[in-house]
Amino acid sequence: QSALTQPASVSGSPGQSITISCTGTSSDVGVYNYVSWYQQHPGKAPKLMIYDVSNRPSGVSNRFSGSKSGNTASLTISGLQAEDEAEYYCISYTNSNSYVFGTGTKVSVL
Amino acid sequence: QVQLQESGPGLVEPSETLSLTCAVSGGSISSDNWWNWFRQPPGKGLEWIGEIHHGGTTHYTPSLKGRVTISVDMSQNQFSLRLTSITAADTAVYYCARNALRGYYADYWGQGTLVTVSS
């Protein structure tokens, strides 16, 4: 069971939009709409940002959105802000009753 | 508001067994949620370890099968992680978390506890 593939880093200027990809297989991302995204600041527990591909929990800014096409899910942050600088992880349910995380993406605000 | 709190030794010797407990407050371990363990080695990414339902059904990540056991104690409203034959590679921050009701995502997390494997 290999980790989902994410870019190691993505950066953008304040106000810009960025997109983080999360590529899996037909055993996980491609077959289930159970992809979620977490934001993690250093030394903190992960925070849920998106669940079930594109749903936002209450309290999460609508600047965060998710989508999926085939074996790749994506997280888009629009109107980038300094507070968005963090590590982001995707995670997907798999066909072996387990979960697999992405490799993580460091988002930098220039 | 559901709260989860990990507890256990911060230092464990190689080849020993790591045991952690997650105390749940503000919610019942007997609810229809699944309860998870995750971990994160220093400077590295997150890893899902496994999950348990109060009925006793468990699922584990394939890479740790055979070494990991997750159990639930409804009388104490807590669940536990046991990892045997540990090595330095098991050094990590361990998190417990609750999956949303009938959901496939963790909505409440503990703050995490660092476990270092060293003699």
What pLDDT sits at residue A91? 98
Is residue A61 within 8 Å of A78, Cβ to Cβ? no
What pLDDT sits at residue B48? 98
Chain B residue closest to A32 (CA)?
B104
**Looking at beta carbons, which residues of chain A come within 8 Å of B63?**
1
Average pLDDT, chain B: 96
Question: Which residue, among A28, A50, A56, A99, would best test binding to B if mutated, counting the most B CBs under 10 Å from its CB?
Answer: A99
DSSP string, A26-79: TTTTTT-S-EEEEEE-TTS--EEEEBTTTBPPTTS-TTEEEEEETTEEEEEE-S
Query: What is the share, in percent, of chain B residues with pLDDT greater than 70?
Result: 100
pLDDT band at B65 (very low <50, low <70, confident <90, very high): confident
The answer on pLDDT for B19 being more than 90 is yes
- The better pLDDT of the pair B116, B32 is held by B116
Residue B8: CB atoms within 10 Å = 15
When pLDDT is averaged across residues B112-119 and rounded to a whole number, the result is 97
User: SS3 for A83?
Assistant: helix
Q: Is A57 on the interface with B (CB under 8 A)?
A: yes
Give dist(CA B63, CA A81) in Å, integer: 38
The answer on pLDDT for B79 being more than 90 is yes
End-to-end Cα, chain A, rounded Å:
35
What pLDDT sits at residue B47? 98
Cβ <8 Å between A101 and B47: yes
Positive or negative torsion for Cα B85, A44, B32, A68: negative
CA atoms within 13 A on the CB side of B12: 26
Cβ <8 Å between A52 and B105: yes
The answer on pLDDT for A1 being more than 90 is no
pLDDT in tens, B85-103: 999 999 999 999 999 998 9
What pLDDT sits at residue B6? 98
pLDDT in tens, A12-70: 999 999 999 999 999 999 999 999 999 999 999 999 999 999 999 999 999 999 999 99
Is residue A47 within 8 Å of B107, Cβ to Cβ? no
DSSP string, B102-119: T-SSEEEE---EEEEE--
Cβ <8 Å between A48 and B105: yes
The answer on pLDDT for B49 being more than 90 is yes
Amino acid identity, position B10: G
